[in-house]
A and B are shown apart, each in its own frame.
Chain A
Amino acid sequence: MSAAPERPMLEVADLRKSFDVSKPFLERMLGGGHRQYLKAVDGVSFTIRKGETFALVGESGSGKSTVARMVVGLMPPSAGRIVIDGNVLSGRQGYPRALRRRLQMIFQDPYASLDPRWRVADIIAEPIRAFGLAPDRATEQARVGELLSLVGLHPADGVKFPHEFSGGQRQRIAIARALAADAEFIVCDEPTSALDVSVQAQILNLMKDLQQRLGLTYLFISHNLAVVRHMAATIGVMYLGRIVEVAPAEELFSRPRHPYTRMLLDAVPDLGMTGRTRRPVQGEVPNPIDPPSGCTFHPRCPLANDRCRAEAPATIDGVACHAVQEGRTEPGRAVSA
């Protein structure tokens, strides 16, 4: 793979976000105790090429949604750099208007992300109006009708209110709205996890079709490994605020390298697993306020040694793991299954 001269759509470098979770000042003074910070995102770097889907996958508390929020500018990063199509963003001042038009987000819960008192046509037309993209009302309405057909709804559905639609149809409306201002880069935070599987299939297929037709770039956040495999070209696996492994989708699933990735893949219930026994998974995600020392995965890792307990691993060749870097593999388990 040669480095293309083309500018990547998104470049994130050493992104960090910590939240102050200390007790109130007075309580600290009276009862003792220090300031406490929760490092939700702790030095995340990745790149997304134009027209590609990059997915972040992880369990709750891994920081994947916080990354999404920082990328779209809903939350300023504590440190680090976000570069969208060559625009270096500090995060503090908010994004320039021209960039905001090109960057949109789709949220998890289509029941909460659409204003119940607005008609669907107005919901979809809002970005068109905000950015002054239609010279008159007729053009605007024509565009709304076009968008509704694009996502598989009827142009006449515009006069209805969100409550008249099912969850899957609402998510289609959210997608139409995201596309209304000709967005190029869409951040999707668990776009199908509130939906039934057959509806999920409809939405995932729609998102893939739209990507092909319009050349969209997606940052796709999900906890569902199978969905991520289906959608993404490249996948980053997050654990306690860090990316522990980045790899092309095919490779990640056929040859997972980080012990956490392997554990996750072993844990997912899958249709193909009927009648097979699995290896038991160890432990749970620790409390992010008080993460383990060194490599934060070491208490659950079968390969952990003293170095892992003391020292946080650097990311080398897409994997942040001492054991992989030192060539220590799991006893009794071939790397390529």
Chain B
Amino acid sequence: MTEPVLSVRDLTVEFVTRRGTLRAIDSVSFDIAPGEVLGVVGESGAGKSLTGTAVIGLLDPPGRIAGGEIRLSGRRIDDLPADEMRRIRGKRIGMVFQDPLTSLNPLYRVGDQLVETIMTHLPVGRDEARRRAIDLLAEVGIPAPERRIDGWPHEFSGGMRQRVVIALALCAEPDLVIADEPTTALDVSVQAQIIALLKRLCRERGTAVMLITHDMGVIAETADRVAVMYAGRIVEIGPVREVVKHPRHPYAQGLMGSIPALEESRERLQQIEGSMPRLAAIPKGCAFNPRCPHAFARCMVEKPVLLESGASRVACWLHDGTGLGEETAA
């Protein structure tokens, strides 16, 4: 196997507050290979966006990386000084955020923003940068790019703006793109176009993508592998088909069952009782135990680690292989 573009090991993020230290991300580990799309899903407060923020080194105090390491193509980046990290950000890691309007500066023409970014990161002159910018705009599907390049962000629709943001993220030919809810602010018909675009570009360039979203439909179509997060930990990670069709962790099972399907209509949706715990009150043992229909004694005291289960890895004691609880998991 080739070296992963991004390798995260035991990443722990804490917030030091007056009322004590809150652990928002707890020993999260994953790899992303070149050209691979890793989907990170979970509900609000699961820590998925925070994981992305930690990777690009944009955690705001009091948040801090309290443990673990992050490597980009083998080189450790979580302990770099701020100015060195700034060079990596944008150049080697591109970013696409949820709201395309706030990602673009409304006071600069679209082309100027692209040209500036290209010239900052690549050793090219203004004319060459502009030529590249036009090519990029054409590549992300903006009609008449040689004319639109001189337009202002407000002259672009939501979908077109998100295309510009994708062009911005890709202009320095990064190894990794972190896309945090890239389609959430868009209408469905536009959403599909943006997903297809992101997927095609990354495949063509061999860019690794960390796709953070709460929308399982988007993940199902775009990602190669999926990590399901709950209360700051990865509870299940595996190939998209496995996780979507045969989820193993009770939370992942509940999550998939709670999504209304287009293909068939059910009388009732499966529901997970209760809600995600607050950071200050994460239950002992497995954080999911109060809501879990299969919880047993061990879940109350011992935090589950990721264990191999088929093609996936699952953090659930039902899958410990001791046989205990295996029949309930089936």
Enumerate chain A interface residues (CB-CB to B < 8 A): 59-60, 166, 168-169, 196-202, 204-205, 208, 223-227, 229-230, 249-250, 253, 263-276, 278, 280-281, 284-285
Contacts and interface: CB of A to CB of B under 8 A. Distances in A.
Contacts of A202: 271-273
Contacts of B195: 269
Interface string B187-209: 11111110110000000000000
A208 B261 CA distance: 16
Given A229-B265, A278-B192, A270 B220 contact: yes
Interface in B175-189: 187-189
B241 A223 contact: no
Contacts of B266: 230
Contact of A226 (B189, B261, B276): B261
Contact of B262 (A263, A268, A285): A268
Contact of A208 (B191, B193, B268, B270): B268
A202 B263 CA distance: 20
A163 to B, nearest CB: 13
Interface in B34-49: 43-44
B261 A270 contact: yes
A278 B221 CA distance: 10
B260 A272 contact: no
Contacts of A285: 187, 189
Interface string B212-235: 001111101110000000000000
A12 B184 CA distance: 32
A197 B191 contact: no
B256 interface: yes
A82 to B, nearest CB: 28
Nearest to A286: B157
Given A250-B265, A267-B191, A281-B189, A229 B240 contact: no
A253 B263 CA distance: 8
A288 B159 CA distance: 16
B192 A226 contact: no
A272 B262 contact: yes
B54 to A, nearest CB: 22
A325 to B, nearest CB: 23
Interface string B262-283: 1101111111110110000000
A60 B188 CA distance: 10
B193 A271 contact: no
Contact of A59 (B188, B220, B245): B188
13 contacts: A59-B188, A202-B271, A202-B273, A205-B269, A226-B260, A230-B269, A249-B265, A268-B188, A269-B222, A270-B261, A274-B241, A284-B158, A284-B160
Nearest to A200: B258
Given A196-B43, A284-B189, A274 B240 contact: yes
B241 to A, nearest CB: 5
Interface in B146-179: 157-160
B261 A272 contact: yes
Nearest to A62: B187
Nearest to A225: B262
B322 to A, nearest CB: 29
Contacts of A278: 192, 196, 221
Nearest to A204: B269
Contact of A166 (B196, B270, B275): B275
A274 B245 contact: yes
A197 B258 contact: yes
B124 interface: no
Given A196-B43, A227-B260, A249-B265, A269 B218 contact: yes
Contacts of B269: 201, 204-205, 230
B247 to A, nearest CB: 11
B56 interface: no
A270 B219 CA distance: 9
Contacts of A166: 275
A197 B268 contact: no
A268 B275 contact: no
Contact of A284 (B157, B214, B258): B157
B4 interface: no
B220 A168 contact: no
B254 interface: yes
Contacts of A223: 187-188
